[in-house]
Amino acid sequence: IGFSEEQERLVKESWEIMKEDIPHLSLYFFTQVLEIAPAAKGLFSFLKDEEEIPQDNPKLKAHAIKVFKMTCEAAIQLREKGEIVVSGSTLKWLGSVHLQKGVIGPHFEVVKEALIRTVEKGVGEKWSEEMKGAWSEAYDHLAAAIKAEMKQEI
Ligand code: HEM
Ligand code: ISQ
């Protein structure tokens, strides 16, 4: 069973809603990551020397947007092709960035949970179990592709 059109629609629909509130939701995303795993703070160059999460940091915003956009792209590809086909060079780059920053397997579960919580917050009353399932599946495929790249580099 692959990724359905309905699942792709749910991911796209929620991202369209969330886009309207990027400053707020990107902060929320990081807050959730650090709430689940406080030690992850040291991994991010723009957080490690901060007492609190900076409220208006362009890098922080841009990073959060990238994660959401890439998960969205992953959903589209899963539906169209049944697999993740981020270009080889992008995956290699993502693999080496994360390896170099000291990201390890269990971190991916942390970011997944934070991402799901952020979508839930972002879409409000449109939230559903189906929407959760669609984002989870898209994220899992993307995370697996990045982790596979990280393993190859060791
Ligand atoms: C950097 C995406 C999972 C921590 C990045 C960048 C992207 C990205 C695109 C590069 C940003 C840039 O330099 O322009 C993703 C995606 C993920 C994922 C799509 C999952 C599907 C994780 C996980 C962690 C993590 C699980 C661990 C907490 C980091 C860190 C950086 C980074 C520390 C470097 C930030 C800095 O500039 O200091 N990620 N990431 N990422 N990611 Fe991820
Ligand atoms: C992982 N990689 C890059 C940026 C991120 C932002 C928030 C949470 C996780 C992330």
Got the DSSP string for the chain?
----HHHHHHHHHHHHHHGGGHHHHHHHHHHHHHHH-GGGGGGSTTTTT-SS--TT-HHHHHHHHHHHHHHHHHHHHHHHHSS----HHHHHHHHHHHHHHT--HHHHHHHHHHHHHHHHHHHGGG--HHHHHHHHHHHHHHHHHHHHHHHHH-
User: Confidence band (pLDDT; 50, 70, 90) for 1?
Assistant: low
pLDDT at residue 102 in the model: 94
pLDDT score for 6: 94
Residue range 120-132: average pLDDT? 97
Residue 47 in contact with ligand 1 by CB distance below 6 A: no
Nearest CA to ligand 1 atom 20: 143
Q: Which ligand is nearest to the CA of 40?
A: 1
33 lines ligand 2 (CB under 6 A): yes
Tell the residue nearest (CA) to atom 3 of ligand 1: 108
Q: How far, in Å, from the CA of 27 to the mean position of ligand 2?
A: 11
pLDDT confidence bin for 68, thresholds 50/70/90: very high
Q: For 133-146, how does the pLDDT look when each residue is reduced to its tens digit (9 = 90+)?
A: 999 999 999 999 99
Q: Which atom of ligand 2 is nearest to the CA of 30?
A: 7
pLDDT digits (tens, 9 = 90+) for 86-105: 777 888 999 999 999 999 99
Q: Looking at ligand 1, which residue's alpha carbon is closest to its atom 19?
A: 67
